[in-house]
């Protein structure tokens, strides 16, 4: 019985931990988009998609590498580790093929920027998202 209880508590704590770790994609409140595919998101952050469907320039925002969400985003959405992501952008930058997304130091700065810029997109921890920005789903799911 005690073993069962410990297992149940551990499972609940694990699930709660996972939920707390979840990140969400945010855009400006005036952006008409509600859902984005993971491939589109990857292409935005790889510099391959530059404009929203309405012609507004996309400004992707990244977080600094030591933020846990940055690693999660690189692993889950971009499918690479942070080092590979950095090297990818270094090659593009020095070939004149694009500049990497602006990196912010914390979630508050990402939210402020996205709230102010019509074309901005970013990612923050779910519990940090505020009503100043719009949450959109990725392949129909709110968090990743």
Partner 1 sequence: MKKLFILLFLIGMAFVPATVMAVSMDDFKLNGFIDLEYEKADGPGHPLTPVGDEKGSFDQLHFNLLMEFPVNNQLTVKGHIEFEHSPKSAEGSQTGEINVEWAYLEYSLNNSMMLRGGSFLTPIGIYNEIHDATATYNSIRIPWGIYRADKIGGFAMFPKFGTGINFLGNHSSDGDLEINYSVYILNGENTVKNDAEKDDNSNKAAGGQLMLSPISGLIIGGSYFTGKKGTAEDDHSVWIGTLDYSTNQINIRAEYASSGLNDTTETGWYSELAYRIKSVTPYIRYGTLDPDTDLNNDKWTEIVYVLNYEIKPGFIVKLENRHFGGEANNSKVSENYNELGASVNVAF
**What is the binding site for partner 1 (CB under 8 A)?**
37, 39-40, 43, 48-51, 56-57, 79-81, 83-84, 86-87, 90-91, 93-97, 99
| Closest C-alpha among 138, 137, 127 to residue 20 | 127
Q: CA of 100: how far to CAs of 38, 67, 94, 107, 121, in Å?
A: 19, 17, 11, 18, 14
Which residue, 17 or 96, has its beta carbon nearer to partner 1?
A: 96
C-beta of 97: minimal distance to partner 1 in Å? 8
Beta strands 133-138 and 23-28 are antiparallel
Compute the distance between CA of residue 35 and CA of residue 135 in angstroms, rounded to an integer. Answer: 9
- According to DSSP, the residues that pair with 104 across neighbouring strands are 63
Compute the distance between CA of residue 93 and CA of residue 39 in angstroms, rounded to an integer. Answer: 22
C-beta of 79: minimal distance to partner 1 in Å? 6
C-beta of 58: minimal distance to partner 1 in Å? 9
Which residue, 9 or 97, has its beta carbon nearer to partner 1?
A: 97
Which residue, 121 or 129, has its beta carbon nearer to partner 1?
A: 121
C-beta of 137: minimal distance to partner 1 in Å? 15
Which residue, 29 or 87, has its beta carbon nearer to partner 1?
A: 87
């Amino acid at each position: 019985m005690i073993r069962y209880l410990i297992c149940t508590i551990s499972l609940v704590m694990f699930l709660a931990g996972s939920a707390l770790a979840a990140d969400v994609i945010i855009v400006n409140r005036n952006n008409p988009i509600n859902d984005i595919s993971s491939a589109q998101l990857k292409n935005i952050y790889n510099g391959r998609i530059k404009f929203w469907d309405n012609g507004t320039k996309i400004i992707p925002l990244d977080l600094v590498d030591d933020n846990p969400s940055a690693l999660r985003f690189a692993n889950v959405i971009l499918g690479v580790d942070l080092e590979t992501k950095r090297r990818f952008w270094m090659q593009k930058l020095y070939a004149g093929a694009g500049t990497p997304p602006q990196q912010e130091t914390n979630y508050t700065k990402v939210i402020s920027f996205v709230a102010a810029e019509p074309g901005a997109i970013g990612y923050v921890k779910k519990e940090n998202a505020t009503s100043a920005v719009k949450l959109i789903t990725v392949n129909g799911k709110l968090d990743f």
